[in-house]
Structure 1
Amino acid sequence: GREFQTYGFGGRGFVGSSGSVAEVGMGSGGGMKGSSRSAFSLIELLVVVGILGIIVGIFFTGFSYIFSKQKDKQAKMEIAALKTAVHSYSLNHGSYPNCSGGVCTPGECLFLSLAGFHNAEGTLEVPPYPTTIPAGLFGYELMSFDVAEIPDLSHSGGNSVILWLSETLGKDPEFLDPWGNEYVYEFPREDGNSGFRLFSKGPDGKTTEGYTEDDIR
């Protein structure tokens, strides 16, 4: 007669054509269930990693936004302080900071004037007038040296006041915004309007046409 073979799967089976009964067990330790569990665990891991990536991205985006806003706030505070110092200079000298003959760059002119080294005519003043620089914001200790010991200085050359200030203060005499760029000072103004103009180029460090949206004034 015909022989039948039974194959069992988890307690169930079927009969084949041979006379013996064969059972194939797929119990709790079987390969298929183990592979399924491993695959599921890998999917879980990928999901967790994806979620963590999203959380980290949100965190850094939020941190960058807050940090950027803090820099904006600092720049506005420094600009306000510098404008106050410029108006104070104008009240004392009858003119906004200027440099006769264009010897100084606008940034140097602003610093030298507020540091007391420029007079009403925009020429060098040694010993200097009392400084109006808001030292608490920019960290310049201009009162740390004895004005009586200031050497004979000039606007340019090897004995320039800028070079002497750099060596004395330990850093370049300039007003930098939170992004490391020099504040822009204009007098007379390039747009032809009266008064002076003082602003930051903003995060992009540019102020030419098409790059003025992030300027801080």
Structure 2
Amino acid sequence: MKEKKDDTRDPLYKEISLKIIDFMIEQHWQEGDKIPNEYELAQVFHVGRGTVRKAIAELVRIHILEIRRGKGTFVCENLHFHDEKIREAYHAMEYDRGLYLLQIRALIEPWAAKENKLSAPVRSAWLAYEKADGEQRMEQDIAFHEAILASTANPLLPQLNRYVSDSIKAIDDARPDEAFFRRVQKEHRQICEAIEEGDHDLAYALVLAHIEHDSEFLKEAKHAIL
């Protein structure tokens, strides 16, 4: 069988690391158990062996797996799947993935705000966020940023919506407090006003600052559990 092409981009191997953790729990692996080899895991997750190799290295780094020379890869001794260690490692990797996605957004979304041609959808999404609470906040936050991507003359930008939704879900997983939501609410309003007033440079700067603030929040959340 022809081996799938390796894809060792950071977001992909981080995602596979998380899937390996899920697989470990689903298969009821215990401390000291030997895990499948790279080829077998590549078949399970439909990725290249290089991606699996990087994912395993990440799990070794955070002491979930260990490599025994000449024997293979094993679940670390003294690792209890129901204690906080594996859960904290899982969340730390989720936050890392969110940070990678925010880096991508920082390259694209400020430009989209600067080139925005339709302020009405952005305003509508902002007003919906103002009224939202609970889980609706995350949904409306995603809708606000998707509206920015959808309101330019570039028809391909909405294809990047998954970067928006996945990064915001990572932020939501970090359990932001009311101060976080008030900050987001204020920044959404400022972005909306800049777009409506046609102040393109300000819209660019505000979106970039907003993404940077979200990145700082995720970095602090990760630091708090490590």
Mark yes or no: TM-score above 0.5. no
Q: What TM-score do the two structures reach when normalised by structure 1?
A: 0.31
Q: Which is bigger in relative contact order (C-alpha 8 A, separation at least 6)?
A: 2
Q: Which has the larger radius of gyration?
A: 1
TM-score (norm 2): 0.30
